[in-house]
Amino acid sequence: MIKIKKSNLTKLDISKKINSKIGLSIPYANELTEDIIITIKDLIMSGDVNIKNFGTFKIKNKKERIGRNPKTNMEHKIVSQRSLSFNSSKKLNNKINNFWMEKLINISQLSKHLNLINKKSKKPTNHVLRYWEKQFRQIKPTVIRGRRYYSENQIRIIKLIQFLLKDKGLTINGVKKVLKSNINSLDDYNSFSLKADYYKESLKIKSKKILEKLKKIKKNG
């Protein structure tokens, strides 16, 4: 199952989106957003509201019933109440599913992308990725119907692991130490390396200046 990060959508967020899409000023976009929300609220109070290609808002009437407290196992009366539900349209569901699938690639595609190919059979060596997955907790593919899929972020981490193992010759434990330093991509690693090189060079220059000063002191002394 794909895990989607939850976020709170405010009226201002919607207004800013309208502003960026059609150029309507933020104050007018705010008014438009408020009017749409009020209209939907009023319509819901009268019955079901169907928005084409989006979904249907429904008010469900729940009758009075007997429930059971899960902690005490005691029965108690649940009063009748009304609740709002939303059923997304088929078109919206398809759009959501396609959006996520477009951003994911399967294990065979990733193996080919990383050039993890058996030289004889020319087939992708998926077992390498599965082995890395067992070794590195940072690799967390999305599993859909038993098949592994990888996001852009996961691909960046795997590329870094491959680079450290194959190009840098690090051991599994060595790579784990690098990943513990919050380095999650080749860009992060290169940036870290550049900083390390800069500090090394700065230290050399400072050491050279100190030695020159000491030589002068000895010469004058």
170 in the same domain as 97: no
**Residue 61 β-bridge partners:** 82
Beta-carbon contacts of residue 149 (< 8 Å; ≥ 6 apart): 101, 104, 105, 106, 107, 141, 142, 143
Highest mean pLDDT pick, 35-44, 68-77, 200-209: 35-44
125 in the same domain as 78: no
Give the residue-averaged pLDDT of 146-172: 90
Integer Cα distance of 89 and 91 in angstroms? 5
What's the total number of domains in the chain?
A: 2
- In this prediction, residue 126 has a pLDDT band, given cuts at 50, 70 and 90, of very high
Asked if the model's pLDDT at residue 99 lies above 70, the reply is no
Is 92 within the bounds of a domain?
yes
115 in the same domain as 79: no
127 in the same domain as 92: no
Digit-coded pLDDT (tens) for 17-49: 898 888 889 999 999 999 999 998 888 888 888
Is 214 within the bounds of a domain?
no
Domain that holds residue 61: 11-101
Q: Would you say 69 and 119 are in contact if contact means Cβ atoms under 8 Å apart?
A: no
Q: Among 67, 101, 135, which residue terminates a domain?
A: 101
132 in the same domain as 107: yes
Give the residue-averaged pLDDT of 112-129: 93
Is 203 within the bounds of a domain?
no
Q: Report CA Rg, the chain.
A: 30
Q: Would you say 64 and 78 are in contact if contact means Cβ atoms under 8 Å apart?
A: yes
Higher pLDDT, 96 or 162: 162
Is 165 within the bounds of a domain?
yes
179 in the same domain as 151: yes
Asked if the model's pLDDT at residue 220 lies above 80, the reply is no
CA-wise closest residue to 170 among 107, 114, 180:
180
CATH, residue 149: 1.10.1660.10
Integer Cα distance of 221 and 218 in angstroms? 5
Is 221 within the bounds of a domain?
no
Asked if the model's pLDDT at residue 112 lies above 90, the reply is yes
88 in the same domain as 168: no
CATH, residue 38: 4.10.520.10
160 in the same domain as 143: yes
Q: What's the angle, vertex CA 56, arms to CA 55 and CA 59, rounded to 5?
A: 155
Mean of per-residue pLDDT scores for the chain: 83
75 in the same domain as 129: no
Integer Cα distance of 34 and 15 in angstroms? 9
Asked if the model's pLDDT at residue 1 lies above 50, the reply is no
131 in the same domain as 53: no
Is 29 within the bounds of a domain?
yes
108 in the same domain as 131: yes
